Structure 1
Amino acid sequence: MTQRLLTHLRHVDLAVPDYEAQLDFYRGLWGLVPVAQDPGISFLAAEGSPEHYVVRLRRAEEKRLDLLSFGAATRADVDTLAERLLARSVPLISRPDTLQTPGGGYGFRFFDIDGRTVEVSTQVEARRHRKIEEKESIPVRLSHVVVNSPDIAATRAWYERHLDFALSDAIGSPHTGDVMNFMRISSQHHSLGIAAGPHTSVHHVSFEMRGLDEFMRGTGRLLRAGAHMTWGPGRHLAGDNTFSYFLDPHGNTLEYTTEMETLDEDTWHPHQYTFMDDDVSDQWGTANPMTEVIAKEQHNDVDRGVFVAPPV
């Protein structure tokens, strides 16, 4: 098995025009907690996670993905990855150095093949967190992120070659080719998903709940509050995780999930699923059918941050 330099997904950073509405949604309804704020920027943590924050919100004129952040084990691993990317002509935004964001640490940023900003860091201060109790319908941690790519094969190959991601499973058909690749950097089935889309954008950001009861309670809490649920509740086949998808105030798709599959990486072989099989989308058969309207919502708006480094 490849000795990876990445360990896990740390946080997802979003920029939005209506910052106050977005902040109210994430901290009030979605269940995250602010840990640091400056004018026009907030850092939000999940109560059950040691990560200093899992979502950063920033006020901006245009909606965009600011960055995806992944962890590494040591400074040496961060330096090794930076040198590897430089040697392969991957455009770096910054060189490894002390980070100025809450929790500190040591890291650097670069562009992926589609122009997303990616950050890799280590030695970030762990946050004091707590056990999520029975019936608490708030996120334990950030689970995974799925991005849209206009060339799913090229994006998958880039993450495999440069960041040592491995394919866990794929969904597609003989007529369309792959429409979703589930990629891992640990025994968790996926930390990153790559979806075939018409443009570069965020497909969805997923948050882990304590268990099935808390997952359903969270789904119900958002429905009672009038949040727009696009798809769910159900249970996917790839990853075997549950899903309820909602839209935040700026049209980004968010997911409550639980019970993501853990793999034996030494023996695992990727499945090639077809979306023509209803069980692939939803094993339970409880979710509303996937439609073109839902798919379009998950395509999201064109990301205006492609190959433009965020100002913070």
Structure 2
Amino acid sequence: MSDTSLITHLRHIDVTMPSFAEQRQFYTELWGLTETAGDTGVSFLAAEGSPEQYVVRLREDQQKRTDLIAFGAAHPADVDALAAQLIAQGVKLVREPQMLDTPGGGYAVRFFDNEGRVVEVSADVTPRRHRTIEARESIPVRLSHVLMNSPTPEATVAWYIKHLGFRLSDTLCIGSRGEMMWFLRCNTYHHSFGIVRGPHAAFHHASFEMRGVDEFLRGTGRMQRLGIERLWGPGRHRAGDNSFSYYLDRAGNTVEYTTELEVVDEDTWHPHLFDLTDPANADQWGTANEMNEYIAAKSHNDVDPGLFVAPPI
């Protein structure tokens, strides 16, 4: 386990799809994000309670893919130090550290992970003027975490621990079928990133933190009244102790409303192994519909055609 991570937090997830107009409408009018910048076929979406310039970037393309996952660093010198470490370790850079021309600017390095996803780490991004989310306001406060499917999850988890200094918080298994989900942290939140065993490399889900349980349930109810199919939930996970309601966006990506994600004590935390054959480990409340193969298959998502391909922006 590394204690020298130069990564401070999760910034944003950038995705592409043919159904751009429908996606933009879903995330702004239904999900509760705010468009802060954009151009033809590109939209930058912020969470009202977050200082990040944007937490989701949508881009129109003929193919559905994940453009990149972005994390923060404290200083430009940390970006340079990380880039030097990655080069020394044989990691392939997408581009060397340089200034960003996206909202808020900043200084960033981009590189491929072991399976070809593009990762960006940036510093000196100008904080966005944000606000306190009020009681009963059922819109996201921030981007909580992102999980990715992997056909080689043990190797991918090891890659993020070795090269980026992530720490393992907890692991899920399914009885004798073995381990299937790993939760990784880069700060004291239980997880900002995670890896799920799947048939191919692809986006698994992105989770958005709500103000509290009341706002989480109000958001869940709003989506139900709007006729948006709920995949799974509402319930409360054991690992991370967070609530969950999962949906599909207009491109078939899984998105989650959550709240009260656990904050860990770095000095005393020891990873747990939770067995999902005990239903309380999946849902402590017992209120969610039963997890099944249909739900799992939807979150396995489509094969990502963008592996080892740098996004155009």
TM-score with structure 1 setting the length: 0.99
Which residue in the other structure is 1:242 paired with? 243
Asked whether 1:92 is paired with 2:88, we answer no
Alignment of 1:124-273 (within 5 A): 124-173=125-174, 175-273=176-274
Asked whether 1:41 is paired with 2:42, we answer yes
Q: CA deviation at 1:174?
A: 5.0
1:53 is paired with a residue of what secondary structure?
coil
Q: Note if contact 2:175-2:277 (Cα within 8 Å) is conserved in structure 1.
A: no
1:79 is paired with a residue of what secondary structure?
helix
Q: Note if contact 2:246-2:257 (Cα within 8 Å) is conserved in structure 1.
A: yes
Q: What is the rounded CA distance, in whole Å, between the counterparts of 2:4 and 2:311 in structure 1?
A: 30
2:131 is paired with a residue of what secondary structure?
coil
Aligned CA RMSD, in angstroms, stands at: 0.7
Q: CA deviation at 1:173?
A: 3.8
Q: What is the rounded CA distance, in whole Å, between the counterparts of 1:300 and 1:57 in structure 2?
A: 17
Q: CA deviation at 1:307?
A: 0.6
Residue 91 of structure 1 aligns with an amino acid whose one-letter code is: K
Q: CA deviation at 1:178?
A: 1.2
Q: What is the rounded CA distance, in whole Å, between the counterparts of 1:172 and 1:122 in structure 2?
A: 36
Q: What is the rounded CA distance, in whole Å, between the counterparts of 1:260 and 1:17 in structure 2?
A: 33
Which residue in the other structure is 1:64 paired with? 65
Q: What is the rounded CA distance, in whole Å, between the counterparts of 1:225 and 1:74 in structure 2?
A: 43
Q: Note if contact 2:8-2:74 (Cα within 8 Å) is conserved in structure 1.
A: yes
Q: What is the rounded CA distance, in whole Å, between the counterparts of 1:61 and 1:162 in structure 2?
A: 32
Which residue in the other structure is 2:10 paired with? 9
Alignment identity in percent? 60
Residue 16 of structure 1 aligns with an amino acid whose one-letter code is: M
Residue 169 of structure 2 aligns with an amino acid whose one-letter code is: S
Residue 290 of structure 1 aligns with an amino acid whose one-letter code is: M
Residue 105 of structure 1 aligns with an amino acid whose one-letter code is: G
1:298 is paired with a residue of what secondary structure?
helix
Q: Note if contact 1:50-1:128 (Cα within 8 Å) is conserved in structure 2.
A: yes
Which residue in the other structure is 2:312 paired with? 311
2:96 is paired with a residue of what secondary structure?
coil
2:170 is paired with a residue of what secondary structure?
strand
Which residue in the other structure is 2:19 paired with? 18
Q: Which runs of 4+ in 1 moved over 4 A?
A: none
Q: Note if contact 1:152-1:178 (Cα within 8 Å) is conserved in structure 2.
A: no
Deviations 1:29-75 (A, max 9, x none): 00000010111001000000000000000000000000000000001
- Structure 2: which 5+ residue stretches go unaligned? none
1:96 is paired with a residue of what secondary structure?
strand
Which residue in the other structure is 1:280 paired with? 281
- Structure 1: which 5+ residue stretches go unaligned? none
Residue 242 of structure 1 aligns with an amino acid whose one-letter code is: S
2:187 is paired with a residue of what secondary structure?
coil
Q: What is the rounded CA distance, in whole Å, between the counterparts of 1:228 and 1:20 in structure 2?
A: 19
Number of residue pairs the alignment of both structures matches: 312
Residue 11 of structure 1 aligns with an amino acid whose one-letter code is: H
Q: CA deviation at 1:4?
A: 1.6
Deviations 1:169-206 (A, max 9, x none): 00114522210000001110000010000000011000
Q: CA deviation at 1:3?
A: 2.6
Deviations 1:62-101 (A, max 9, x none): 0000000000000111000000000111010000010011
Q: What is the rounded CA distance, in whole Å, between the counterparts of 1:232 and 1:134 in structure 2?
A: 22
Which residue in the other structure is 2:77 paired with? 76
Residue 264 of structure 1 aligns with an amino acid whose one-letter code is: D
Q: CA deviation at 1:114?
A: 1.1
Q: What is the rounded CA distance, in whole Å, between the counterparts of 1:101 and 1:268 in structure 2?
A: 37
Q: CA deviation at 1:304?
A: 1.0
Q: Note if contact 2:152-2:197 (Cα within 8 Å) is conserved in structure 1.
A: yes
Deviations 1:116-152 (A, max 9, x none): 0000000000000000000000000000001000011
Q: Note if contact 1:7-1:72 (Cα within 8 Å) is conserved in structure 2.
A: yes
Residue 273 of structure 1 aligns with an amino acid whose one-letter code is: F
Residue 162 of structure 1 aligns with an amino acid whose one-letter code is: H
Q: Note if contact 2:142-2:210 (Cα within 8 Å) is conserved in structure 1.
A: yes
Residue 284 of structure 1 aligns with an amino acid whose one-letter code is: W
